[in-house]
Amino acid sequence: MSNPSASRYFIPQPSHWPMVGSLALLLMASGAVLTMNSIANGGYVLLAGVAVLFYMLFGWFGRVIDESEGGKYNLQVDQSFRWSMGWFIFSEVMFFAAFFGSLFYIRVLSVPELASSAQQIYSTFAGYVGTWPTAGPVAEAAKTEFHAMHATGIPLLNTILLLSSGATLTWAHWGMLAGNRKQLVFGLFLTIALGLTFIGFQAYEYSDAYAHGLKLTTGVYGSTFFMLTGFHGFHVTLGATMLIVIWLRSMKGHFTAERHFAFEAVAWYWHFVDVVWLGLFVVVYWL
Amino acid sequence: MRVIVIVLLLAIVFNMGRALVFIFRDQGRERERGVRALTLRVGLSVAVVLLLVIGNQLGWINGKL
């Protein structure tokens, strides 16, 4: 081991940030309950919770960054960050596996089963054949019109945007390893710009879908479409936020070619979000 | 066509997994394996999109994969 302090167990100073985080969660949960029950000022309590949460995120992460840049972390701490990233990634993979799984279940089992039983048992829905995309037998009996999404156009454009962002990020990654700060900073900037453009187009696509009658409430097609692409969009927003932090840190001169696990973790997360989109693009728009 | 896309997607997921393991294990200067696996996954993703676009243009897909 090159680091002489690697064998020592790092114990951080006592911290008030977990307590602040708990307060944020308490305020957010109470605010949400008050808002849902239409009790006055519930929204303010919820907003206060979000504000405290952001205060905690800035304060706690800032402290960790300061400790890291101050050279207080040895390889043992580095390893603990890797484990926490590993579990976070595991939970994310399971999260999306559940949504992809539900779409698979609906398309391969539920809808064909409903269509076949509609002919035999439910005479009200006798005409239901279950061709995907479907809003379900009730909506189809009511002659609900909706506009199915096409792969070409904005979805294809968004795929190219996100894929390009994966390429620029990889370029930045190689820059990091080569110690080329300019390449790193510019590559990150391009990645963030492409990611934010993706979110903009996604918002436009949603408004267009709503204008053409495809809503979250448009039966099983509408709900799976918006749940899958919506949660993905939320993850792109989170990934872009993390990339912005890494970009700002890179401009401040943080990270070296030897020590940059935070960059690697965020980069991998962005690639993951990109691959999930590719899966969605194929499964939701092409199949 | 569908089989090729599935194989490419599986190869992408496999390389993401490899990259994760490399990033998890490699420290210090010797950490090119992770970024190499990620570069490969970007290349494979480009191949998937190109295949879909070209297949659609040439009528191999007919609107649905």
The whole-number average pLDDT for the span A248-261 is 94
Cα(A56)–Cα(B9) distance, integer angstroms: 39
pTM: 0.91
Contact B65/A282, CB-based, under 8 Å? yes
Angle at B20 between CA A173 and CA A10, to 5 degrees: 90
The whole-number average pLDDT for the span A274-279 is 96
Q: What is the pLDDT of residues A120-155, one digit of tens each?
A: 777 777 778 888 888 888 777 777 777 778 888 899
A221 and A133 Cβ atoms separated by less than 8 Å? yes
Contact B35/A166, CB-based, under 8 Å? no
Cα(A53)–Cα(A277) distance, integer angstroms: 29
Domains in chain A: ranges and CATH: 14-72 (1.10.287.70), 79-286 (1.20.120.80)
- The answer to whether residue B4 neighbours chain A at the CB level (below 8 Å) is no
- The answer to whether residue B46 neighbours chain A at the CB level (below 8 Å) is yes
Confidence of residue A287 (pLDDT cuts 50, 70, 90): confident
Structure tokens belonging to residue A34: 């008050």
Cα(A99)–Cα(B12) distance, integer angstroms: 19
Average pLDDT, chain A: 91
The residue type at A280: L
- Cα nearest neighbour of B18 on chain A: A268
Contact B45/A166, CB-based, under 8 Å? yes
3-state secondary structure of A223: helix
Structure tokens belonging to residue A133: 């995309």
- Tell me whether 0.85 is exceeded by the ipTM: yes
The whole-number average pLDDT for the span A40-62 is 96
B38 and A271 Cβ atoms separated by less than 8 Å? yes
